[in-house]
Amino acid sequence: MARSRVYVRAGSTSSPWLAVNLSAVVPGWGQIYGGAWTKGICFLLTTLFGIGWIVHAIFLPSGNTVRGLWLLLPLGGLYLMSLWDSYHTVARHSPLTINQDPWYPVFLSHVLPGMGQLNLQLALWGVSFLLLGIGFGFLANLNANLLPIPPLIWAIGCGHAYIRATRTHQWTMLLGFLAVLITIRLAVGSIPAVVRLTVEQCIVPSESMVPTLQVDDLILVNKARTYTPQLQDIIVFEAPPQAIALDQLQPDDLVVKRILGLPGQQVAVQNGQVWINGSPVVEPYLAQPPDYLWGPETVPDNQLFVLGDNRNSSADSHRWGFISQSLVVGPAYKIYWPPQRIQPLS
């Protein structure tokens, strides 16, 4: 049986691969470990600024999705530069080679669980961590309740690789690193679930909202439970029973329309205009006025009156009647794709 490889490290010698591991979880931390505080803080702040800009560009109404996606490239380059620089910041003062540094197998396990064990010739451990990491990583994408498990597997794999790589251990540094590793990986792994809980991504299927929304526009919908409907908001809602019955929609279909009547308001469609409580509604976004008559009727409690902007080619409240507020997913606030259509919907 092959013997496992053991790395030996002098107790007070700085580790270049520890610096790489630190910067891998928090860009700039490795530079700070190596004494380059100013450079480390610059890496950290620049990374945080880049992440904030990407979130703004992709998810906020005024942001440009394309710019946010392009910014991922320089941010990824900055991350790799932080790893490279953290290594060289410490390596110039350290006599350790890659075969002497017990934090190198930790870095491999950080990249993919089990790789550090395979590097140490611990094949059974390596394959076990590899299968567990990949398997639970896949399952966590299907079940959010499993999200904490992959970060724990990564952390245990890193800790095990370090313990098996050296006879002398920096327990405080190891535990601190693993705690931050778990926190960061859990936060990153939770991003898709958080996005699904707060934002709905929809595709416009018909011409009922032309010219405001075109067919195949991709829109973002704010799913905040605190949303209070306002006149002329564009909202996305679940198909109401009357729409399912009259227009052959499916129960899980989502519909996008504009609010033109709130509870207690009297609504009418007359003379090519919508009237609310006897006053005409100014609608500069319409291409054509409605050629039908409706109402007047008073919107009941917890109900809404909604119309499509393409008034004469839209199945909406003039056909279905009022819709329940309980069906509302939230307000559509941004067209995020295609690039030439990116714009806020407020």
Query: Which of 14, 15, 94, 208 is an active site residue?
Result: 208
C-beta separation of 261 from 278 below 8 A = no
Residue 253's CB is within 10 A of a number of other CB atoms, namely 13
DSSP 275-334: EETTEEPP-TT-SS---S-EEEEEPPTTEEEEE-SSGGG--SHHHH--EEGGGEEEEEEE
Report DSSP state, residue 250.
-
Q: How far is CA 22 from CA 14, 43, 48, 156, in A?
A: 13, 13, 16, 16
- Alpha carbons within 13 A on the beta-carbon side of 51: 11
What is the arrangement of strands in the sheet containing 294-298, beginning at the earlier edge strand?
A: 279-280, 273-276, 266-270, 294-298
Q: Is 334 known to be catalytic?
A: no
Q: Is 208 known to be catalytic?
A: yes
User: In sequence order, what are the residues at sequence separation of 6 or more whose Cβ sits closer than 8 angstroms to the Cβ of residue 163?
Assistant: 169
Query: Which of 39, 86, 94, 257 is an active site residue?
Result: 257
Q: Phi first, then psi: what are they for 185, rounded to 5°?
A: -65, -35
Sign of CA dihedral 52, 55, 61, 65: positive
**What DSSP element (H or E) covers 44?**
helix 37-59
Report DSSP state, residue 63.
S
- Separation between Cα atoms, residue 42 and residue 285, nearest integer Å: 46
Catalytic sites, residue numbers = 208, 257
